Structure 1
Amino acid sequence: MNTSHSNGGTAEKGSGEAAGEDPGETAQRQPSPRTFGNDDGLPRVPLPSLDATGERFLEWCAPLLSAAGLERTRAALASFLRPGGPGRTLHAALERYEAGEGVRSWLDTFWPYRYLGRRDRIALNANFFFLFEDTGEDQVERAAGLIAGAVAYKLRLDAEEIPPAVQRGRPLSMEQNRFLFSTTRIPGAEQDTVRAPYSADEPGPSTARHILVFFRGNMIRMDVVGPDGRPHTLDELQSALSAITKAEPALEPSVGHLTTKARAEWAASREALLALDPGNRAALEEVETALFCVCLEDFAPADTQEACDQLLYGDGAGRWFDKAVSFVVFGDGRAGINVEHCELDGTTVLSFVDAVLGTPAERQSRESGARPQGLPVTEPVRFVLDDGLRADIRDAAASFAAYAAATATRAVGFDDFGAARAKALGMSPDAFVQMAYQLAHKRAKGLVGTTYESIATRQYRNGRTEAMRVVTPEVLRFVAAMDDPAADAAGRAAAFREAALAHVRRAKQCQAGEAPEQHLWELQLIQKRRGAELGVTGPLPLFDSPGWVTMRDDYLSTSSAPSASIRYFGFGSTSEQCIGVAYVLLPDSFNVYLSTPAPVADAMHDFARELRVAIRELQELLEPKA
């Protein structure tokens, strides 16, 4: 089981309509117009009481357990929660931490451990992608436009002129925007770190003026902002990119392959690079400080499926998976983005992408103050390699290619269903598709399995996401009713609506900070970090109980990206039996990208087929009868 939930918050629902909030609930305070002007005044993420978390944990895991498994879980929880027991000690430590000076949220330590503590590869496992809508532009024109739009956004962000996100009158945290540019994850032997602006080491916005361009295994440093801080024009960007696309394939193997390795292994390779030659430190400096990456592919994908797959993993020779933002532009001008997840969730990236794609590049370039200043400086980024590092890179490339080949994916599009249709039938759109997933999974695999859904909590200070578990008693009754020969249409429809309402209620719980999983997980992490100091050193049966293990072992891992700027969104699966379900639900369309380990690919294809049936069947069920 992958306890990191690789998609946790990749493109989570916002805290309003998607989960069925009352439209009448609006805040009265007038938000600041400055990008980060509201963050310090946002409410703190609520820290639930330990007893409330215990009650919710039992409620959430119960539908997934046998009677014997539930009893074992209840006993383990009682031991954890007993007066003077380990849970009380760990929770008291968490309360003291939250009250500490400079702490913005009781989750401040949780997030680095959750994302930076994972030791497997992040390529395919953690990074996520968006496939943009087509524009008909050629590769160079499309890439130049993306660069111009991103640089314009960066300059506005530097001046705090990006309007703060506001939902139902409430400002949302903009903290993640600080990590869009010049941010790079740095591998570590035990835990990774992040190199980023707006930090103690690099206060304020990034002063970098260059991006990193990949083409045919070459890495090129390309200036996109002149010495006086004014961006290059679109024509100049196109000229520089056109010259880059005439390059021959690189003679040396690409160091980018090393970013596909498991984290401790990549950390060792990075140390070997630094030890071999002083020039490698300078090369890494260029890579790690670059504003973002632009990955130019010298081929056109055969279809949408291949475009999505290439955005998810591609060839490591043309990627630096540790960079926060990498635009990928194919030979035919189709484009998308690959995002490193540790500091960025989907809602932030969607806002960025919408801004870049929502205004013509010519206008963004002009309004950014771009002026003619000659061809942008381009210089190859070269690493000094020895035979050992060359072999290391070749091994990493072969291993990642095999890993990608062992992942099955499927793009599924619905042109005859969307959020507007669900609303017209009196149903929350997200609840509708989540119930369709449950029905399709039961029919495809023969069981209702653990389902994860990310829920945005950016209405809180430094808020990110909450982990929602979709399976409720109402879901079990709904799925059973749908295939019960004795159930009539009215009974099935009633069960469907009850399950959907339960889904909305749980989503609201998560948005209110009333969810058990991350709270208990952080207590588990506190014991690992500080157990000896706190006197909590023995095993904690709760975290080996059937409830904890089963609730977190995903069969479906789901997340949504509602934006008209993108066609598909995707990420890798999170366990050996898991199907990753990334979906773009728009008013008149519904696109889903599925991923799963190749050994269970047949079940994923069965799920895709059953999902089509379920979407049609559930619409018919809610149709008003004449």
Structure 2
Amino acid sequence: MAEAHQAVAFQFTITPEGIDLQLSHEALRQVYLSGLRSWKKRIVRLKNNVITGVYPASPSSWLFVVIAILATMYTRSDPSMGLIAKIQEHLPASGSLSVQCQTVVSAVVFSTMLWLSLIFTMKLCLKQLLSYHGWMFEQRGNVSNTTKVWMMLVRIFSGRQPLLYSYQGSLPNLPVPAVKDTIRRYLESIRPLKSDSEFERVNTLAKEFEVSLGNRLQWYLKLKSMWASNYVSDWWEEYIYLRGRGPIMVNSNYYGMVRWYLWFNIRCFTILQGYLLRALKRDKTILIFSRIPGTFIPLCSAQCERIFNTTRIPGEETDTVVHWKDSEYVAVYHRGRYFRLWLYQAGRMLSPREIEYQIQRILDDPSTPAPGEEKLGAFTAGDRLPWAQARKEFFGSGVNKRSLDCIEKAAFFVTLEHEELDKKGDDPDITLDRYAKSLLHGKCYDRWFDKSFSVVIYKNGKNGLNAEHSWADAPVVSRMWEYVLATDCFHLGYNEEGHCKGDVNPSLPRPQRLTWDIPSQCQERLAQSLSVAQVLADDVDFHVFAFRDFGKGSIKKVKMSPDGFIQLALQLAFYRDRGMFCLTYEASMTRLFREGRTETVRSCTSESCEFLRAFENGEDVEVCRRFCRSASEKHQQLYRLAMTGAGIDRHLFCLYIVSKYLGIESPFLKEVFSEPWRLSTSQTPVQHLEMFDFVNYPEYLICGGGFGPVADDGYGVSYSLIGEDIITFHVSSKHSCPQTDSHKFGKQIRKALGDLLQLMTNNQKEASRSEQNHSPKPQSKKEL
């Protein structure tokens, strides 16, 4: 094959005249270009490391300081107060230099030391400034003078052109809350969920813990916070994600979807791979990764480092997350076969049209899967221990190791589905539910759940992704995915035939088919993993819908926080569904701090329960409105506390880990972590609104993403506020629980939203329209 010859740099044959050495100039050229590109990337990385290392100053400021010091010396003044002379006395090569050269070298050394001292001071000042979070607790439009001065100082110390990781060294460390404050907030959060006798029992345990063991455990956490960048994140990643021995499919991984058809979404691969490269080249669009939308406040970007070239490796006791510096290809799965698709040729990234051409080659490949190859991905869907043992026994050497390395070291994973997701005449609601289940678990073997993320593209052009959770949280992946989709639809476009724009180099080598030698014993274990995963997947009940009666625009008109409003609606829906209150989890980010990840907002509060009782008992409208606003304000206060490091659950989690290291059993901490989260919620924010046009192109609707239920008898609810008029919901539960029904709960959410707006709105016409739309609307095919 011609492609095989291009991969050989030289060849030789033995002849009667001697050895006939034949060099392949094209192959040598490819080697040269590949090495050249590698060195260029190293230089770019070094350059960016220097720029981010000296931020908020710039490398050019060093030259300014040197010139300024030399200029003052020529005016016969000594800005160093004798330090330059001291440096000159101790120069190692002073005997071989003239006096004037010694003076200049000493001045340069002093200038460099002064410059580094200024950088350190600026970083320290910026870190102190970023430790102020009072601005979060102020009313919109009512900014205090303190915050105004703070904003001005942050702008002064922030420099002009920050890169993605410029702020990393200036972000404050996550503070360790006082034990008494955490216990007080914890007791406050469980009060509405406990009877008087139960609360008194937990209160006694809490007080005993506070005055005895709590202070001892707290000492270790404070010691860790002084030594580590973040006292929570490494333990959170290890014990919450990596040490889990159950399947990560459904239980940990999550998905993202869209609700429109694209012609042929092959170009997404080019954009995804090029995303990180553009970041290294100071593409300004990447800076939105490190900002809070609508502000100039930087967020930690540590999670962005592992978007590409990252894989979770199974272990017998704990998994590990492995990240490689670079990868020039993606791993592709189609009809039970695995391929390596190179994204670079002759030192350049392939054009979108060329990648489409290569994908078409994979689609046209007539080969059949090797024995055991088709369902190999089931190992990543089942329990972790069997996968770790099988990986060690059957994939440690030979052809299996080479093929597995190819998948694990790929930039990301791609699944080309050979079936259409939905067909004409299908019920739109059922289609969306099937879409969600497919993205979450597929057939349990056609995704590589260990990869940082897997792109899934269906035969009819619909697409989505499945992401592994340990390396990063959903907002990081969501922002990347939105950028890819918006760039694909609105900035690159397609030609009249529906193909990617650009030309094709027909001499491109074919995508490489990965080969396997999977023995029957390995196939038996593979079947066991698949059976475990299949039971889990079949038990998941999903309901996805877009609520179109109103959106955050109408909620803001009644002067309520959209997130607080939705959380109250979820509480009302659950109360009506189950006739009880429950411990509610809402994820909040802590990326205002270095290496921050998430914190829990306990949305079920005394205020929310008081409102729900009053509302359901038919209390006076004004009383219910007052209770509703009080509950919403309480939720916003808890959310801000969580974001600024004063949350409850991560602190208690770390105290529990320390107690386990010390071998001490705490009745209080055992009580805390025995409580189930029957309602687990998360908002997936749309972070690239400026790149979408929902007015002129309403069909280009991002539908957010979802996850499986946390508790066997509970619900998982993910929601997104799309523009001003749409809210999408992803509701999950388990068929095996007779008390839960995702579709029934979805109806309760619709009704609760309408009832709340009717209560709070002053526009009776709008309230009447909302009341008429409590039941689900039939959706047209165009809306999908």
> What is the letter of the counterpart of residue 272 of structure 2?
A
Indicate the SS of the match to 1:525.
helix
> What is the letter of the counterpart of residue 607 of structure 1?
F
Residue number in structure 2 paired with 1:237: 355
Contact preservation (8 Å) 2:432, 2:545: no
Quote the offset at 1:242 in angstroms: 0.9
Residue number in structure 1 paired with 2:407: 287
Matched, 1:171 2:305: no
Bigger RCO (CA 8 Å, 6+ sep): 1
Q: Which has the larger radius of gyration?
A: 2
For 1:208-357, what aligned pairs fall within 5 Å after superposition? 208-228=327-347, 230-248=348-366, 249-253=368-372, 254-275=375-396, 277-302=397-422, 303-357=431-485
For 1:467-486, what aligned pairs fall within 5 Å after superposition? 467-485=600-618
Spell out, residue by residue over 1:500-541, the C-alpha distance to the aligned partner (whole angstroms, 9 max, x if none).
11111111111111111111111111222x31xxxxx33210
Contact preservation (8 Å) 2:247, 2:533: no
Q: Which runs of 5+ in 2 are unaligned?
A: 1-132, 423-430, 495-501, 690-700, 765-784
State how far apart, in whole Å, the 1-side matches of 2:137 and 2:615 are. Answer: 24
For 1:186-585, what aligned pairs fall within 5 Å after superposition? 186-197=313-324, 206-228=325-347, 230-248=348-366, 249-253=368-372, 254-275=375-396, 277-302=397-422, 303-360=431-488, 374-375=507-508, 377-485=510-618, 487-528=619-660, 530-531=661-662, 537-545=663-671, 547-550=672-675, 553-563=676-686, 566-585=702-721
For 1:55-134, what aligned pairs fall within 5 Å after superposition? 55-82=184-211, 85-100=212-227, 103-112=228-237, 113-134=239-260
Spell out, residue by residue over 1:217-265, the C-alpha distance to the aligned partner (whole angstroms, 9 max, x if none).
111111012251x211112111111111124552423321100112222
> Which of these residues, 591, 610, 623, is aligned with residue 748 of structure 2?
610
Quote the offset at 1:111 in angstroms: 2.3
Indicate the SS of the match to 2:349.
coil
Spell out, residue by residue over 1:177-199, the C-alpha distance to the aligned partner (whole angstroms, 9 max, x if none).
111000001111111111113xx
State how far apart, in whole Å, the 2-side matches of 1:417 and 1:555 are. Answer: 27
State how far apart, in whole Å, the 2-side matches of 1:512 and 1:568 are. Answer: 25
Which one is further off, 565-574 or 184-193?
A: 565-574
Contact preservation (8 Å) 2:564, 2:635: yes
Contact preservation (8 Å) 2:173, 2:225: no
Contact preservation (8 Å) 1:39, 1:461: yes
Matched, 1:146 2:295: no
Quote the offset at 1:446 in angstroms: 0.8
State how far apart, in whole Å, the 2-side matches of 1:346 and 1:17 are. Answer: 25
Contact preservation (8 Å) 2:243, 2:317: yes
State how far apart, in whole Å, the 2-side matches of 1:227 and 1:179 are. Answer: 26
> What is the letter of the counterpart of residue 58 of structure 1?
L
Indicate the SS of the match to 1:316.
coil
Quote the offset at 1:471 in angstroms: 0.8
Which one is further off, 153-162 or 582-591?
A: 153-162
Q: What is the TM-score of this pair, normalised by structure 2?
A: 0.71
Contact preservation (8 Å) 1:18, 1:428: no
Spell out, residue by residue over 1:375-402, the C-alpha distance to the aligned partner (whole angstroms, 9 max, x if none).
2541122232111111111222222122
State how far apart, in whole Å, the 2-side matches of 1:312 and 1:255 are. Answer: 18
State how far apart, in whole Å, the 2-side matches of 1:178 and 1:378 are. Answer: 27
> What is the letter of the counterpart of residue 166 of structure 1?
R
Spell out, residue by residue over 1:595-614, the C-alpha distance to the aligned partner (whole angstroms, 9 max, x if none).
11112364433321211111
Classify 1:307/1:376 alpha carbon distance in 2 versus 1 (closer, same or farther; 3 Å): farther
State how far apart, in whole Å, the 2-side matches of 1:292 and 1:316 are. Answer: 18
Quote the offset at 1:158 in angstroms: 3.2
User: Identity over aligned residues, as a percent?
Assistant: 26
Contact preservation (8 Å) 1:234, 1:362: no
State how far apart, in whole Å, the 1-side matches of 2:708 and 2:138 are. Answer: 28
Contact preservation (8 Å) 1:129, 1:312: yes
State how far apart, in whole Å, the 2-side matches of 1:295 and 1:490 are. Answer: 54
State how far apart, in whole Å, the 2-side matches of 1:217 and 1:105 are. Answer: 42
Q: What is the TM-score of this pair, normalised by structure 1?
A: 0.88
Indicate the SS of the match to 1:75.
helix
Contact preservation (8 Å) 1:414, 1:589: yes
Quote the offset at 1:157 in angstroms: 2.6
Contact preservation (8 Å) 1:19, 1:428: no
Spell out, residue by residue over 1:302-349, the C-alpha distance to the aligned partner (whole angstroms, 9 max, x if none).
322211110111023321100001111111100111111111112211
> What is the letter of the counterpart of residue 571 of structure 1?
F
Q: Which runs of 5+ in 1 are unaligned?
A: 1-14, 198-205, 532-536
Contact preservation (8 Å) 1:149, 1:361: no
> What is the letter of the counterpart of residue 382 of structure 2?
K
> What is the letter of the counterpart of residue 481 of structure 1?
A
State how far apart, in whole Å, the 2-side matches of 1:160 and 1:340 are. Answer: 27
Residue number in structure 2 paired with 1:6: none
State how far apart, in whole Å, the 1-side matches of 2:753 and 2:655 are. Answer: 40
Spell out, residue by residue over 1:163-210, the C-alpha distance to the aligned partner (whole angstroms, 9 max, x if none).
25222221111111111000001111111111113xxxxxxxx33111
State how far apart, in whole Å, the 2-side matches of 1:456 and 1:507 are. Answer: 9
> What is the letter of the counterpart of residue 318 of structure 1?
D
Classify 1:56/1:362 alpha carbon distance in 2 versus 1 (closer, same or farther; 3 Å): closer
Indicate the SS of the match to 2:720.
strand
Matched, 1:158 2:277: no
Indicate the SS of the match to 1:99.
helix
Indicate the SS of the match to 2:344.
coil
Deviant stretches of 4+, over 6 Å: 15-21
Classify 1:134/1:376 alpha carbon distance in 2 versus 1 (closer, same or farther; 3 Å): farther
Indicate the SS of the match to 1:520.
helix
Contact preservation (8 Å) 2:708, 2:732: yes
> What is the letter of the counterpart of residue 281 of structure 1?
K
Indicate the SS of the match to 1:68.
helix
Indicate the SS of the match to 1:317.
coil
Which one is further off, 318-327 or 561-570?
A: 561-570
Quote the offset at 1:365 in angstroms: 11
Count the aligned residue pairs: 582
> What is the letter of the counterpart of residue 246 of structure 1?
D
> What is the letter of the counterpart of residue 371 of structure 2?
E
State how far apart, in whole Å, the 2-side matches of 1:292 and 1:575 are. Answer: 30
Classify 1:17/1:288 alpha carbon distance in 2 versus 1 (closer, same or farther; 3 Å): farther
State how far apart, in whole Å, the 1-side matches of 2:482 and 2:525 are. Answer: 39
> What is the letter of the counterpart of residue 377 of structure 2?
G
> What is the letter of the counterpart of residue 599 of structure 1?
S
State how far apart, in whole Å, the 2-side matches of 1:180 and 1:315 are. Answer: 24
Classify 1:420/1:325 alpha carbon distance in 2 versus 1 (closer, same or farther; 3 Å): same
Classify 1:489/1:560 alpha carbon distance in 2 versus 1 (closer, same or farther; 3 Å): same
Spell out, residue by residue over 1:540-595, the C-alpha distance to the aligned partner (whole angstroms, 9 max, x if none).
101232x5533xx1111000112266214110011111100011112210111111
State how far apart, in whole Å, the 1-side matches of 2:579 and 2:489 are. Answer: 50
Quote the offset at 1:17 in angstroms: 12
Classify 1:38/1:372 alpha carbon distance in 2 versus 1 (closer, same or farther; 3 Å): farther
Contact preservation (8 Å) 1:457, 1:464: yes
